Amino acid sequence: MAETSGPPRESPRISVIIPVFNGERFLGEAIESALSQTLPPYEILVIDDGSTDGSAQLAESFGPPVRVIRQENRGEAAARNRGIDAAQGDWIAFLDCDDVWKPEKLALQAALLSPAVNCVHTNFFYFGASQGTVDVSDVPPATRYSLGYVARRNPFRISSLLVRRDLDIRFPEWTQDGEDLIYFLELARKCEIRLVREFVTGYRVHAKGQSSRPDMLVRRFHALQQFLEGVADLPVAEKDLVQREYLALMAEQATLAKYRRNWQEYWALRRFLASWKGPLPAEAKPVLREFIFPPLVYRVKDWFDALTRCDADSGSG
């Protein structure tokens, strides 16, 4: 069930915006999922951000309602903003070129629209290199859309969003790191938001995704700092909370990176936390205190643990 019920009086005009840069491999699947919606989109704008592969030609082969807009390579933020400016619908649904929607996604979101609502997002599942779901239904809205929670737990994904086209929020083009998080924080600050409980947005995990970079969280933190410095109407205490929650996220991710033996990510995060001059959250202190053995020691340990599990499974059989 969705969070609230009651269909709108008339079907909304939804413009789908798909930014793409050399995304030919997955783009067709994304467009097909938009075209397969039980509530058909008013238009699908594919913003080709200077691709050198066949992305634009592939998108053009679909014909209406797919429309391709080409620009020089300026990044995802600029591509999404270009799509917002060119859109003719009343609502904007973002879809990354490597993500997919289930057929009922837009219809479920449209059922939650009202004059008071200006953003609807969905629970989502991830697929590809790993599988699972992210369910924020049980988090109270007051917590779910607080800035600290958004910074640390992030209930959103770009491809899960449906927003009013006339919102005064744009993606920051001065950075290509964390522009999505900054946009989410602005939504949480300014919007009345609703949630579709169903898992109808698919987030693809693959090696070429931005989240695969070992220093991704560090780069995003620097962008987050710059954003917070420029927000004049946000109290200092709230800014400090956002930073602290993000630092706690970095500490948690460092621990995960250790157990996954992703040493590049681990050391990128640990070195940054060690260099941080301000107060650190409690989650960071164990990371900075722990002793790390040479990688060979962990390889031997993992081999021995796997051998022990194998022997135990054989004995139980």
Which domains, ranges and CATH numbers included, belong to the chain?
A: 14-209 (3.90.550.10), 213-289 (no CATH)
In 3D space, the residue among 32, 8, 36 whose CA is nearest the CA of residue 18 turns out to be: 32
Residues 6+ apart with CB under 8 A from 136: 123, 144, 153, 155, 195
pLDDT over 90 percentage in the chain: 90
pLDDT at position 207: 75
pLDDT at position 2: 45
Residue matched to tokens 């800035």: 147
Whether 317 shows a pLDDT value over 60: the answer reads no
Tell me the pTM. Answer: 0.91
Q: What is the mean pLDDT of the chain?
A: 94
Bridge-partner residues for 126, per DSSP? 132, 203
Local structure of 197: helix, strand or coil: strand
HEC readout, 32-80: HHHHCCCCCCCEEEEEEECCCCCHHHHHHCCCCCEEEEEECCCCHHHHH
Whether 7 shows a pLDDT value over 50: the answer reads no
Work out the number of other CB atoms within 10 angstroms of the CB of residue 115: 7
CB 264 within 8 A of CB 270: no
Q: Which two tokens stand for residue 11?
A: 């079907």
pLDDT at position 91: 98
pLDDT at position 229: 96
Task: Please work out, in degrees rounded to the nearest 5, the angle formed at the alpha carbon of residue 251 by the alpha carbons of 249 and 253.
Answer: 70
pLDDT at position 307: 87
Whether 209 shows a pLDDT value over 60: the answer reads no
pLDDT, tens digit, 9 for 90 and up, residues 11-41: 899 999 999 999 999 999 999 999 999 999 9
Residue matched to tokens 């082969």: 61
pLDDT at position 1: 40
Q: Which two tokens stand for residue 55?
A: 């992305």
Whether 43 shows a pLDDT value over 70: the answer reads yes
Whether 5 shows a pLDDT value over 50: the answer reads no
DSSP 304: H
pLDDT, tens digit, 9 for 90 and up, residues 112-153: 999 999 999 999 999 999 999 999 999 999 999 999 999 999
In 3D space, the residue among 67, 69, 127 whose CA is nearest the CA of residue 99 turns out to be: 127
pLDDT, tens digit, 9 for 90 and up, residues 258-306: 999 999 999 999 999 999 999 999 999 999 999 999 999 999 999 988 8
Residue 283 CA, distance from chain mean position: 23
pLDDT at position 210: 55
CB 129 within 8 A of CB 207: yes
Which stretch, 33-42, 206-215, 302-311, has highest mean pLDDT? 33-42
Residues 6+ apart with CB under 8 A from 301: none
Length of the chain: 317
